[in-house]
């Protein structure tokens, strides 16, 4: 008894779903069979959406976020504050920060973080491209760079690396605050976060 094997077309579709982050073999199987429950038109629309997105989206030549127009929505917006650049790891981080509706400066997307363990060196990130932005008339306007990489080892390493690069250029480098999430609970906060929250305490007027 060898057990039942999946049809090659299904095996292939499961492998494709399995490549997606957070999708294990069982979920991949469920998704592949779900696709068969869709109409032919719906499957074609899904199939086309994948190709369309990949063909249309490019990197903004200024901030390197993924965009369908160049320069991107933020870089072309004349109402944005051109004195501040917020450095993030991924384009999705730009959308997260924009949802907060608090920040009105520019962005720079590194496309990753420094991780010697995983073989990601500074030259693999858009760091050279960040430094280019401080050149010329437009570059001279920049007063501050907010380092908004993730608060993990790689993100902290990247922030520190960038802060050291920016110092001799006379540009103020700041790091987003770490602490207890709003609506969060002291009881559930981990020790590292609590230590950071205490260290970053501010005077209440």
Binding residues for its own copies (CB under 8 A) = 1, 3-10, 12-13, 15-16, 19-22, 26-27, 29-36, 38, 40, 42-57, 66-69, 73-74, 90-92, 94-95, 98-99, 101, 104, 187-188
Note if the bond before 71 is cis, omega within 30 degrees.
Answer: yes
Residue 37 has phi, psi (to 5 degrees) of -80, -10
Closer residue to its own copies in complex, CB, 21/119: 21
Closer residue to its own copies in complex, CB, 25/200: 25
* Inter-CA distances, 14 with 18, 23, 34, 69, Å: 6, 10, 11, 33
Widest Cα–Cα separation across the chain:
76
CA atoms within 13 A on the CB side of 160: 9
Nearest alpha carbon to residue 106 among 76, 85, 137: 85
Q: What's the min distance (Å) between Cβ of 23 and its own copies?
A: 8
CA–CA gap between residue 51 and residue 38 (Å, rounded): 19
Q: What's the min distance (Å) between Cβ of 169 and its own copies?
A: 28
Nearest alpha carbon to residue 63 among 138, 154, 156, 161: 138
Strand partners, 198: none
Closer residue to its own copies in complex, CB, 2/203: 2
Closer residue to its own copies in complex, CB, 95/153: 95
Closer residue to its own copies in complex, CB, 9/192: 9
Q: Which helix (H) or strand (E) holds 81?
A: none
CA–CA gap between residue 66 and residue 86 (Å, rounded): 15
Closer residue to its own copies in complex, CB, 43/169: 43
Q: What's the min distance (Å) between Cβ of 20 and its own copies?
A: 5
């Amino acid at each position: 008894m060898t057990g039942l094997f999946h049809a090659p077309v299904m095996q292939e579709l499961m492998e494709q779903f399995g490549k997606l982050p957070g999708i294990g073999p069982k979920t991949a199987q469920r998704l592949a069979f779900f696709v068969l429950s869709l109409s032919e038109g719906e499957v074609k629309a899904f199939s086309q959406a994948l190709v369309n997105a990949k063909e249309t989206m490019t990197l903004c030549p200024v901030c390197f976020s993924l965009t369908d127009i160049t320069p991107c929505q933020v870089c072309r917006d004349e109402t944005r504050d051109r004195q501040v650049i917020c450095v993030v790891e991924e384009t999705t981080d730009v959308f997260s920060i924009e949802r907060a509706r608090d920040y009105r400066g520019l962005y720079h997307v590194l496309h990753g973080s420094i991780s010697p363990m995983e073989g990601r060196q500074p030259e693999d990130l858009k760091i050279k491209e960040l430094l280019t932005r401080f050149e010329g008339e437009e570059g001279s306007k920049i007063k501050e760079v907010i380092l908004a990489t993730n608060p993990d080892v790689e993100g902290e390493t990247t922030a520190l690396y960038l802060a050291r690069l920016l110092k001799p250029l006379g540009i103020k480098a700041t790091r987003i605050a770490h602490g207890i999430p709003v609506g969060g609970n002291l009881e559930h906060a981990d020790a590292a976060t609590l230590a950071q929250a205490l260290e970053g305490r501010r005077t209440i007027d």
